[in-house]
């Protein structure tokens, strides 16, 4: 999947490239900013700033942030009163200097114990797959100022997912695929789980496919009383290994083997256990079903509860069963289930607690993602409102008032706003002011009185502010990005245009258009379409997209009109029918919609040159590029497919089977949705780009496509990056090389120039 995360990372923040026009190659100055590849990505002259604040997990209503400290290289953790703005240093950088060290720890992450007597610091991190989950952990006793490292006999950067127990007595963490607890008084370390000798069984973390497709990394939970730990056990035995081959690091190739379940193949087995911290005894939850043909995608231990909420998906992912599991016995009771003729969208950011017997739940059962109340005792679901709108994401449940804050956008699928409803029911109300278009995100305080609010639009960088709720009045601006906004204003960039493109008699898709400066409506312009098109993400968003968005501005500056369309099947807030119309026809309906949208736009905008239409995308967008170029050769003249999936049979179980079903039950869908099978139809210019170390979308698929293209005597261009992963960002000069190659390709084939 990151058939989205990478696609949107490319759009929003991927580091880019090296070609620029002669004018753009001139040295940028503060007075005369220039939009070039160098200023965008190498010099980072157009980088926006954010704010690292977060709310305290208590009733104070204060928020915390990390500030640079006077101590060399250090950071203070600061507590801020939202009402007055008064600050108080909770932890000074000087208190985070390890014994014998000359500088404070660098803070990659931190967490306080419930009573704030202890502080856990995450530092010296290393990437596992997508994220920096492995590292060192230190604990500061705030009363004695003793600072000591957890797992002191462990190799550097070898611990994962450390957490303090609710009472602050223990720290738990994962090391070598097992769960350990460390007594913070005595320093005694105990191993709570043990994998069978010679096995690759994982406790408290996940295998590759769970992490990639369910975004699950931290695989264990403290009980509310700190006496037990709930955890996942993942057994990958029987899952076939895939080799990643490093040909450039030594005299002979080095091979890394990864358990990787491809469509229709065997999955890892997953089960849920609870281990006693005192005795080490494990009780396995009696979740029904064959472990290799089901997924446990959520284990939550609500505050003050003796039981767990466990969610289980079947392999087709069209049935989600929600169980209440008794930690002491392992007995389970099904509370309710969600089913769908296509797939069930599941969440792991649910808002529930055992303080009440009712909790909020998001269901799509009536055609829209809406709020329901779920009753723990009966499992009954009751809708809170019947407005035809989708809940994009939950934000906060304020238990004292019953208010539910969430993100939605009923009238503009490219935008995002804050809404509020009540657990007692009632019509949702928009909280974001009507005069603030674009996309908004919020961190709402636990007491519901405040929010850290970030908002932006396609043309306007983010502003971060503290607002008072529910009236949404601005208390103070925390980051305005004024310097960046001033610099952008001097570029005089034409504003983005949002429009609709017709793809069927009663169906229109959302789109945007970027025009070159000095646009002449009587002219004829080459076109570049940026595409993703799969259920994992949208490209048409009214939000600041960082360097990736400005990359498309740069293409417009070079003389291209840049377009993007969100076809049916993308996760827009337009109802279930829109999103799930793509079921069992990934690469089929989406490619048809993209082609229909392009034809409609060519017909309605005579300034577009129908003989010079290019398309590009990354990951799922790379696959869509191939489908467009190979299935509609009369429409597209050139395409760049980066990290594409030419054959869906070669991709992983969780993502591909969710949207396509099992291969044996959808032979025609897998065949007709895989661009590999249309290689004989290539007529335009094609550039294939891939990292040979891509653990997500394997280079194997590109080789299979190349074999077909050669067989059919089709010429193409190929750009491979040794050992680079799905983001193709590793190694000095990689990004600049890639983006230079991309721009040269477009100029050569659509502008008909040879730089």
What CATH number did the domain enclosing 631 receive? 3.40.50.1820
**Backbone phi, psi, residue 489, to 5°:** -60, -30
* Same domain as 573, residue 462: no
Percent of the chain clearing pLDDT 70 (strictly above): 94
Say which residue, 749 or 196, is predicted with more confidence: 749
CA–CA separation, 405 vs 358, rounded Å?
17
User: Where is the domain boundary, 168, 191, 214?
Assistant: 191
Other Cβ atoms less than 10 A from the Cβ of 340: the count is 17
Helix, coil or strand: residue 96 = helix
Find how far residue 603's CA is from the centre of its chain.
Answer: 36
pLDDT band at 26 (very low <50, low <70, confident <90, very high): very low
**Distance (Å, whole) CA 433 – CA 414:** 17
User: What does DSSP say about strands 417-422 and 429-430: parallel, antiparallel, or unpaired?
Assistant: antiparallel
pLDDT 10s digits, 389-408:
999 999 999 988 999 999 99
Task: Please give the Cα distance from 627 to 676 (Å, whole number).
Answer: 9
> What predicted TM-score, i.e. pTM, was given to this entire model?
0.93
Q: What is the mean pLDDT of residues 668-684?
A: 98
Interacting residues of 540 by C-beta distance below 8 A, sequence separation 6+: 413, 414, 498, 510, 511, 512, 564, 565, 566
Rounded CA separation 71/96 (Å): 10
What's the burial of 22, exposed, middle or buried (CB within 10 Å: 0-12/13-18/19+)?
A: exposed
Convert the pLDDT of each residue in 37-77 to its tens digit. Answer: 888 888 889 999 999 999 998 777 899 999 988 777 899 99
Asked if residue 448 lies in contact with residue 403, where contact means CB atoms within 8 angstroms, the answer is yes
- Is residue 585 located within the same domain as residue 694? yes
**Hey, which residues does 624 pair with through a beta bridge?**
none
**Cα dist. 545→26, 93, 411, 440, 746 in Å?**
25, 33, 21, 13, 22
- Strands 202-203 and 189-191: what pairing? unpaired
> Rounded to whole angstroms, how far apart are CA atoms 94 and 75?
9
Residue pair 147/138 in contact by the 8 Å Cβ criterion: yes
Q: Do residue 654 and residue 695 come from a single domain? A: yes
Asked if 384 and 518 sit in the same domain, the reply is: no
Mean pLDDT of 301-312: 84
Closest CA to 413 of 569, 253, 308: 569
Q: Is residue 269 part of a domain?
A: yes
User: Is residue 389 a part of any domain in this protein?
Assistant: yes
What is the rounded CA–CA span in Å between residue 508 and residue 600? 10
Q: Kindly state the tokens that stand for 598.
A: 């392009």
CB 674 within 8 A of CB 618: no
Of 299, 317, 335, the position where a domain reaches its end is: 317
- 560 has pLDDT over 50: yes
Pairing of strands 87-91, 685-691: unpaired
Residue 20 above 70 pLDDT? no
User: What pLDDT does residue 71 have?
Assistant: 76
Which comes out higher in pLDDT, residue 612 or 42? 612
What is the domain range of residue 302? 193-317
What pLDDT, on the 0 to 100 scale, is given for residue 1? Answer: 54
Rounded distance between C-alpha atoms, residue 646 and residue 623, angstroms: 6
**Bridge partner residues of 322 (DSSP):** 311, 336
For the record, the structure tokens of 184 come out as 């913070």
Which has the higher per-residue pLDDT, 36 or 658? 658
Task: Tell me whether residue 207 is in a domain.
Answer: yes
Predicted local distance difference test score (pLDDT) of residue 8 = 44
| 510 lies in the same domain as 629 | yes
Give me the residues paired with residue 244 across strands.
Answer: 256
Residue 126 sits in the same domain as residue 149: yes
Q: What is the mean pLDDT of residues 577-599?
A: 97
> What is residue 66's three-state secondary structure?
strand
Q: Of 139, 171, 191, at which residue does a domain stop?
A: 191
| pLDDT over threshold 90, residue 305 | no
In a domain, 448, yes or no: no
Distance of CA 305 to the CA centre of its chain: 30
> Tokens representing 256?
């890394």
pLDDT digits (tens, 9 = 90+) for 341-392: 999 999 777 766 656 678 899 999 999 999 999 988 888 999 999 999 999 9
Residue 428 shares a structural domain with residue 286: no
User: How distant is the alpha carbon of residue 610 from its chain centre?
Assistant: 35
Q: Are residues 591 and 703 in the same domain?
A: yes
Residue 218 included in any domain = yes
Q: Give the whole-angstrom CA distance, residue 425 versus residue 403.
A: 10
What pLDDT, in 10s, does the model give residues 89-139?
A: 999 999 999 999 989 999 999 999 988 999 999 999 999 988 999 999 999
CA distance 194 to 287: 21
Q: Judge if 158 and 169 occupy the same domain.
A: yes
Mean pLDDT value across residues 682-693:
98
- Can you give the pLDDT at residue 73? 80
Task: Kindly state whether residues 233 and 310 are assigned to the same domain.
Answer: yes
Least confident of 10-24, 196-210, 267-281, 483-497: 10-24
pLDDT of residue 479: 97
The Cα 738–Cα 616 span in angstroms is: 13
How far apart CA 672 and CA 99 sit, in angstroms, is: 63
Higher pLDDT, 241 or 752: 241
Q: Is the pLDDT of residue 13 over 60?
A: no
Question: Cβ distance 580 to 586 under 8 Å?
Answer: no
β-bridge partners, 275: 229, 282
38 vs 459, more confident: 459
Lowest mean pLDDT segment, chosen from 196-200, 250-254, 262-266, 531-535: 196-200
Question: H-type helices in 545-585, by residue range?
Answer: 546-557, 576-580
Three-class HEC string of 4-57: CHHHHHHHHCCCCCCCCCCCCCCCCCCCCCCCCHHHHHHCCCCCCCCCCCEECC
16 — pLDDT class (breaks 50, 70, 90): very low
Whether the predicted pLDDT of 302 surpasses 90: no
pLDDT in tens, 503-528: 999 999 999 999 999 999 999 999 99
Average pLDDT, the chain: 92
Among 168-177, 348-357, 369-378, 532-541, whose mean pLDDT is lowest?
Answer: 348-357
Compute the 3-state secondary structure of the chain and give helix, strand, coil in percent, each to the nearest 5. Answer: 20, 35, 50
Contact (Cβ atoms closer than 8 angstroms) between residue 110 and residue 90: no
Is residue 104 one of the residues assigned to a domain? yes
Pair of tokens at residue 246: 């490093």
Domains: count for the chain: 4
365: three-class secondary structure by DSSP:
coil
> Are 312 and 301 contained in the same domain?
yes
In a domain, 329, yes or no: no
pLDDT higher at 469 or 306: 469
Biggest alpha carbon–alpha carbon distance for the chain: 80
* DSSP string of 678-720, one letter each residue: GGGG--SEEEEEEETT-SSS-HHHHHHHHHHHHHTT---EEEE
The answer to whether residues 156 and 222 belong to one domain is no
Residue 3 scores a pLDDT above 70: no
Domain assignment of residue 32, yes or no:
no
Q: Which strand (E) or helix (H) includes residue 203?
A: strand 202-203
- The proportion of the chain whose per-residue pLDDT surpasses 90, expressed as a percent, equals 85
User: Can you list the positions of beta strands (E) in 127-169?
Assistant: 134-141, 146-149, 159-164
């Amino acid at each position: 999947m990151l058939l989205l995360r990478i696609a949107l990372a490319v759009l929003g923040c991927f580091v880019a490239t090296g070609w620029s026009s002669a004018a753009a190659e001139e040295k940028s100055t503060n007075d005369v900013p220039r939009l070039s590849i160098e200023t965008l990505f190498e010099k980072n002259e157009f980088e926006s700033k954010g704010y690292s604040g977060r709310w305290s997990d208590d009733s104070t209503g204060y928020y915390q942030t990390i500030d640079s400290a006077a101590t060399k290289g250090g950071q203070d953790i600061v507590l801020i009163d939202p009402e007055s703005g008064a600050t108080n240093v909770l932890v000074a950088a000087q208190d985070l200097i390890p014994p014998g060290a000359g500088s404070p720890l660098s803070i990659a992450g931190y967490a306080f114990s419930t009573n704030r007597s202890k502080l856990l610091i995450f530092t010296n991190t290393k990437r596992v797959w997508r994220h920096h989950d492995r590292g060192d952990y230190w604990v500061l006793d705030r009363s004695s100022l003793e600072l000591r490292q957890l797992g002191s006999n462990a190799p550097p950067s070898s611990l994962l997912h450390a957490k303090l127990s609710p009472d602050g007595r223990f720290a738990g963490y994962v090391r070598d695929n097992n769960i350990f607890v460390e007594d913070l008084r005595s320093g005694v370390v105990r191993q709570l789980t043990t994998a069978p000798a010679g096995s690759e069984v994982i406790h408290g973390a996940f295998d590759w496919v769970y992490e990639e497709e369910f975004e699950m990394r931290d695989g264990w939970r403290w009980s509310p009383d700190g006496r037990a730990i709930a955890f996942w056990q993942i057994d990958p035995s029987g899952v076939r290994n895939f080799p990643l081959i490093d040909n450039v690091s030594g005299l002979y190739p080095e091979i890394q083997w990864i358990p990787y379940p491809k469509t229709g193949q065997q999955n890892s087995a997953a089960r849920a256990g609870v281990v006693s911290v005192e005795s080490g005894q494990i009780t396995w939850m009696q979740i029904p079903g064959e472990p290799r043909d089901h997924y446990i995608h959520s284990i939550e231990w609500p505050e003050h509860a003796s039981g767990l909420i466990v969610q289980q998906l079947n392999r087709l992912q069209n049935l989600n069963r929600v169980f209440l599991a008794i930690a002491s016995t392992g007995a389970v009771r099904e509370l309710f289930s969600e089913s769908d003729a296509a797939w069930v969208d599941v969440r792991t950011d649910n808002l529930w607690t055992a303080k009440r017997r009712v909790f909020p739940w998001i269901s799509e059962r009536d055609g829209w993602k809406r709020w329901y109340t779920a009753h723990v005792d009966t499992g009954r679901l009751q809708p809170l409102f019947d407005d035809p709108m989708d809940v994009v994401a939950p934000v906060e449940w304020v238990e004292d008032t019953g208010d539910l804050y969430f993100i939605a956008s009923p009238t503009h699928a490219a935008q995002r706003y804050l809404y509020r409803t009540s657990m007692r029911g009632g019509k949702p109300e928009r909280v974001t002011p009507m005069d603030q278009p674009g996309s908004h995100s919020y961190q709402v305080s636990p007491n519901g009185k405040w929010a850290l609010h970030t908002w932006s639009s396609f043309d306007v960088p983010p502003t971060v502010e503290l607002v008072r709720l529910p009236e949404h009045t601005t208390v103070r601006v925390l980051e305005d990005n004024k310097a960046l906004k001033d610099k952008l204003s001097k570029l005089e960039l034409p504003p983005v245009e949002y429009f609709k493109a017709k793809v069927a008699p009663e169906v229109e898709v959302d789109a945007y258009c970027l025009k070159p400066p000095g646009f002449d409506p009587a002219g004829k312009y080459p076109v570049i379409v940026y595409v993703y098109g799969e259920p994992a993400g949208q490209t048409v968003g009214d939000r600041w997209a960082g360097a990736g968005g400005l990359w498309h501005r740069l293409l417009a500056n070079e003389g291209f009109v840049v377009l993007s369309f969100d076809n049916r099947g993308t996760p827009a807030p337009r109802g279930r029918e829109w999103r799930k119309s793509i079921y069992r026809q990934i690469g089929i309906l989406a490619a048809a919609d993209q082609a229909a949208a392009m034809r409609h736009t060519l017909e309605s905008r005579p300034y577009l040159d129908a003989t010079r239409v290019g398309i590009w995308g990354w990951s799922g967008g790379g696959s869509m590029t191939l489908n467009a170029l190979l299935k509609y050769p009369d429409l597209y003249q050139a395409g760049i497919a980066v990290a594409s999936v030419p054959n869906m049979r070669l991709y992983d179980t969780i993502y591909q089977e969710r949207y396509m079903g099992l291969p044996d039950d959808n032979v025609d869908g897998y065949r007709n949705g895989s661009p590999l099978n249309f290689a004989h139809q290539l007529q335009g210019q094609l550039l294939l780009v891939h990292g040979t170390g891509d653990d997500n979308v394997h280079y194997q698929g590109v080789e299979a496509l190349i074999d077909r293209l050669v067989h059919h005597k089709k010429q193409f261009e190929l750009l491979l990056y040794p050992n680079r992963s799905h983001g193709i960002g590793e190694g000095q000069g990689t990004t600049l090389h890639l983006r230079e190659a991309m721009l040269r390709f477009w100029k050569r084939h659509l502008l008909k120039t040879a730089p």
